[in-house]
Amino acid sequence: MHGMTENIMAVLLVVNLALMASSRLAGCIGLVALQGIAIGLLPLFAPGGFSARGFLLAAFVAVLKGIVFPRLLHNAIRGASVRREVEPFVGYGFSLIIGVALTILSFWLGTGLLPSSHGNERIVLAGAIATVFTGLFLIVSRRKALTQVLGYLVMENGIAAFGLAVVSEIPLLIELGILLDAFVAIFVMAIIIYHISREFDHIDADQLSTLKG
């Protein structure tokens, strides 16, 4: 299923670029959900992935990242009544160019890291590194707390893909533990955003700067 993996990774890379350029928060949540589902489907197309365990895990991930997480995040911003990311630290056009540059960098890194593996794993590795970079960039360059949470989710997606590329088999229990951690993390972050919007009347993480020194 060499082709399917390539298609999924291409979707991943395009979603990364779309996240860099998009300012509508609802759109960004949808994009991250799409990315999560795509990464959930990725193990199915690895050699030997078509098994009951694989399907179960893929279905679980699809439900979690495609339905539960967006629901939690939409609830969080509904109370805050924010629609758009306004005035990020780095403008959208420039973010897009940086995103392309990071993608090129991650392809270069990916080929250098695992030289002995064949082409399939290398594109997954490169896509994973690009996704992690995108997540980090979103956390650092955006103002709204919600976009920082989305950046964290994108990082988690990237690390999941990274795990797929470098480790041959992760036990089911550990996979479930990691997913549980991700779920609790988003749950906690959504609640904190709700509280922040109530206390501060905005969710600009940039303005949370009283504690200094």
Partner 1 sequence: MSIEKICGYLLALVAAPLLLGVINRTKAFFAGRRGQPLFQAYHDIFKLLRKGAVYSTTVTAVFRAGPPASLAAVLLALLFVPFGPVPAVFSFQGDFLLVAYLLGVMRFCTVNAAMDTGSSFEGMGASREVQFAALAEPALLLGMAVIVRTTGNLSLSGALQSFASCLTTGSAPVTILLLAAWMIVFLAENSRIPFDDPNTHLELTMIHEVMVLDHGGPDFALIQWGAALKMWVLGALVVNLLVPSVAGGEIAGAGIFLGGMLALAAAAGTVESTMARFRLLRVPQLLVAAGSFSILALILVLR
Partner 2 sequence: MQFIDNAIWLLAAFPLLCGMVSLLLPSPRLVLSAAAAGVLASAALDTLAVARVFARGAMASNGDWFRVDALSAFHLAVMIIVFAMSSIYAVSYFRNEPEDMQLNLASARRFSALWHGALAAMTLVLISNNIAIMWVGVEATTLLTAFLICLHISTVSLEATWKYLIVCSVGVAFAFMGVLLLAASAGANAAGASVMQWTHLQGIASGLDPRLARLSFIFLLVGYGTKAGLAPMHSWLPDAHSQAPAPVSAVFSGFMLNMALYCIMRHMPIVAQTAGNQHWAGNLLIFFGLASILIAAVFIISQHDLKRLLAYCSVEHIGIIALGLGLGGAGIFAALFHTLNHSLCKTLGFFSAGRIGQACHSHDMRQIRGAMRIDPLWGGGLFGSLLALIGVAPFAIFMSEFMLLKAAADSHRYIVIVVFLLGAGIVFVGVLRQAIEMAWGEKPQGAHGIKSSLAERIIVLATLALLILAGIWMPDFFRNALKAAAAVAGGGMP
Q: Which is nearer to partner 2, 8 or 150 (CB)?
A: 150
Inter-CA distances, 129 with 2, 53, 120, Å: 20, 26, 15
**Residues 44-83, mask of contacts with partner 1 (x by CB under 8 A):** ----------------------------------------
User: 177-183 contacts: CB < 8 A, separation 24 or more?
Assistant: 179/60, 179/61, 179/64, 182/64, 182/153, 182/156, 183/64, 183/68, 183/69
- Picking from 191, 194, 193, the residue whose alpha carbon sits closest to that of residue 205 is 193
Query: Is 133:181 a contact under the CB 8 Å cutoff?
Result: no
Shortest Å distance, C-beta 124 to partner 1: 12
Q: Which stretch binds partner 2 (CB under 8 A): 25-33, 55-63, 96-104, 145-153?
A: 145-153
Q: Which is nearer to partner 1, 103 or 131 (CB)?
A: 103
Query: Is 37:157 a contact under the CB 8 Å cutoff?
Result: no
Q: Which is nearer to partner 2, 97 or 194 (CB)?
A: 194
210 contacts partner 2 (rule: CB under 8 A) = yes
Q: Which is nearer to partner 1, 95 or 157 (CB)?
A: 95
Q: Find the binder of partner 1 among 63, 75, 119, 181 (CB under 8 A).
A: 119
Return d(Cα 137, Cα 106) in angstroms, integer.
14
Return d(Cα 139, Cα 136) in angstroms, integer.
5
Q: Which is nearer to partner 1, 62 or 100 (CB)?
A: 100
Which positions lie near partner 2, rule CB under 8 A? 114, 132, 136, 139, 145, 148, 152, 155-156, 159, 162-163, 166-171, 174, 177-178, 180-181, 184-185, 188-189, 191-192, 195-196, 199-200, 205, 208-211, 213
